[in-house]
Structure 1
């Protein structure tokens, strides 16, 4: 009985091999003819059919990768060419197409890592830049203005019989940043960023009992150092870790009376010492890129943690159209509550530039975004953000210029004192408009 079973198994294997060889030869011949005649869509259909039947070989992946590239499905091209690369990493033809499919897919770190394995002669002949040190240099400036500040300062915030009404209104913000992205080793890349943020505010004090209406400017100066490391694993996996350190001082004033009953403003300085630590993992797939990250830190003197999930979907298989969805859940010890923030972006290529529309909703305060690169530690709560970004590469991708316009809806607090101790708070809303210009030089 045992011999009969073994004989049947071997006969099945031999029959399967005998069947698969002619089918593979037929597939090889057909896909080669489709490749020569540049019939890319039929070639992709034949590839899907063959892979579904378990037929997979080096030249099938090469032809499918080039067909996908010619159809501008660069992420699918990178998938097929990565399979061919694993079978023969020394094939220069495969290396060329694999490199540019990664570049066109927006996976520049992986493309740079691949280029490190090429010889100088090959890089020169294929017009590929080898990046061994600094990859890019970034400089950006953003100016934000509260166009409603005059109306907010003209309001009667104290009422007719209260001791004092107080409001600290944001006026203008000027943000300046500089960053360097560089290669550390074959798999490790790092970004260093430093920034300065200057904030101008107007403090409003109203006292109906003494008929006082005082407006006084206060300022905030904040510095930030940001460091992010990116580690590339095989098969499209990437792990990131980052640290963001913020320091500076906020100058404000408080209303009081002297012993002679004369009103005066006392100057106070508050130190800023915030930090955010972040770690994340992402995976490059054919049609999307999921990412999960965790953050923890101290913002505005309160402990905070958050978990962020992101999915980038490429419906066309390239960066000509993609959607970015972010959902964050964070806990702020200052309020001892859990909050949610949702962000949706739509990016589309229009001629030489890319346009991105964004919409953000949630209660954003003591919160971080972009792996801790952006830290919201202002006293106001952001209720929503809407904006549009234009990005254009210049001079054969040597320079990138980005312009962004945003409208941010914010919620501030008015403090109404019945006496020197007891008070109640009232909310007020305003919109802040900002414009950012960014220049990146790619080495």
Structure 2
């Protein structure tokens, strides 16, 4: 009996403590102690318990924000810092914390936007202000058709047709360079120039004549310009324009008065464009995008609507998932041509020590697809069925420099035209793999 009474007496304080409600004074005292000792997880746990009981005050928000920040949960700390600054506007400690929370969350434009509220002393100390040139980047890459030899052999060995005319890609080279400018704390302009060189083979064979084989180069230039309007509260509006121009060549077959074949080199120029408008919104654990574009590529009118969801489970850039769905439509009124399709892209990224790794897979016809805010345009005459790739990102010297190495592999297809007789023709489909290796450097000023 005595033993039972003793156990009950020992448990009474525990039950009493569990039923006691927290008080603002107690929460203030304990969170301050946790703050001084750097016990961030305990501080966050007590903060959650206090909020469940309706306790909420400035120093609780501020200490909780700093706790999340010091644990690396930068996106989680942002709304708490923003709320605290609503109560004490212009507090330099809070402004500095929020500035770096934006930067470490990948929200660089929001960090620049925040500098509107900085006193001059803080701008000078952090070197935080709009810059005429925010960064400079350059990237170059090569790609090759790994099935080139087998396709060219298949084309040369065809003996069943009276005439055939075939194109097949060999390799490709590109270089792109860009600049980012701050036109004010709430407006940013990105511009880039890209040069692409595509080498192709053309094979013409007519019964009774020697085959004609020739190599042709398509030279394409691109100018990209995009404005980023910071609308506040995590909203961004981005209009952009991508202009594409260049020339290509091919061999045309004709006949003289004696019906002898004449092969002539023909040069053609092209001018294409793509217009884009995107609306972005940042939240704590995710961000969203709704965007659309209209383009005229290779004489075809192309419309596209995109929806994107980026998820940050750890409230930082240590691990993220980006899912994008694009609905496309291509029309060529003069040929009564119309095509609709959907493209899905899934990317996963994570931090591995001092660098980041990204992997992605794209399913669906990527021909005429616009990506990366209209920066990349897949205006290839060879349809793309799928793609997978990986990126390695290496920040150097406190992210003043950033190296990136990329690889991707695409499944593409082409068509061989051949006549079985003088009136009957058909296209034979062939498949090939295009592999690309590239690398680049970004210099942040």
Shared fold by TM > 0.5? Answer: yes
Residues 366 and 385 in structure 2, CA contact (< 8 A), matched pair in contact too: yes
Residues 157 and 166 in structure 1, CA contact (< 8 A), matched pair in contact too: no
Offset of residue 230 of structure 1 = 0.6
Structure-2 separation of matches of 1:159 and 1:151 = 13
After superposition, the Cα gap between the structure-2 partners of 1:421 and 1:29, relative to the gap in structure 1 and judged at 3 Å, is: farther
Residue of structure 2 in register with 1:275 after alignment = 273
Residue of structure 1 in register with 2:36 after alignment = 36
Structure-1 separation of matches of 2:214 and 2:436 = 23
Report how many residues are paired.
421
Residue of structure 2 in register with 1:8 after alignment = none
Structure-2 separation of matches of 1:92 and 1:29 = 24
Structure 1, unpaired ranges of 5+: 1-20
Residue of structure 1 in register with 2:56 after alignment = 56
Structure-1 separation of matches of 2:271 and 2:330 = 16
1:181-218 CA-to-partner distances (Å, cap 9, x unmatched) read 011122111101111111111011233x3263332111
Offset of residue 80 of structure 1 = 1.3
Offset of residue 147 of structure 1 = 2.4
Residue of structure 1 in register with 2:12 after alignment = none
Structure-2 separation of matches of 1:422 and 1:55 = 82
Residue of structure 1 in register with 2:247 after alignment = 249
Structure-2 separation of matches of 1:237 and 1:52 = 30
1:242-271 CA-to-partner distances (Å, cap 9, x unmatched) read 111111112111233433344332222332
Structure-2 separation of matches of 1:280 and 1:107 = 16
Q: 1:311 aligns with which of 292, 309, 312?
A: 309
SS in 1 for 2:364: strand
Residue of structure 2 in register with 1:83 after alignment = 83
RMSD: 2.0
Residue of structure 2 in register with 1:180 after alignment = 179
After superposition, the Cα gap between the structure-2 partners of 1:92 and 1:425, relative to the gap in structure 1 and judged at 3 Å, is: same
After superposition, the Cα gap between the structure-2 partners of 1:96 and 1:411, relative to the gap in structure 1 and judged at 3 Å, is: same
Structure 2, unpaired ranges of 5+: 1-20
Structure-1 separation of matches of 2:383 and 2:156 = 19
Residue of structure 1 in register with 2:200 after alignment = 201
Runs of 4+ in 1 over 6 A off after TM superposition: none
> Normalising by the residue count of structure 2, what TM-score does the alignment of the two structures yield?
0.90
Offset of residue 115 of structure 1 = 2.8
Residue of structure 1 in register with 2:354 after alignment = 352
1:273-328 CA-to-partner distances (Å, cap 9, x unmatched) read 21111111111111111111011121111111111111111111110111111110
SS in 2 for 1:308: strand
Residue of structure 1 in register with 2:7 after alignment = none
Q: How does 1:9-408 map to 2 (within 5 A)?
A: 23-125=23-125, 127-156=126-155, 159-207=158-206, 209-210=207-208, 212-334=210-332, 335-408=337-410
After superposition, the Cα gap between the structure-2 partners of 1:169 and 1:156, relative to the gap in structure 1 and judged at 3 Å, is: closer
Offset of residue 53 of structure 1 = 4.2
Structure-1 separation of matches of 2:422 and 2:175 = 40
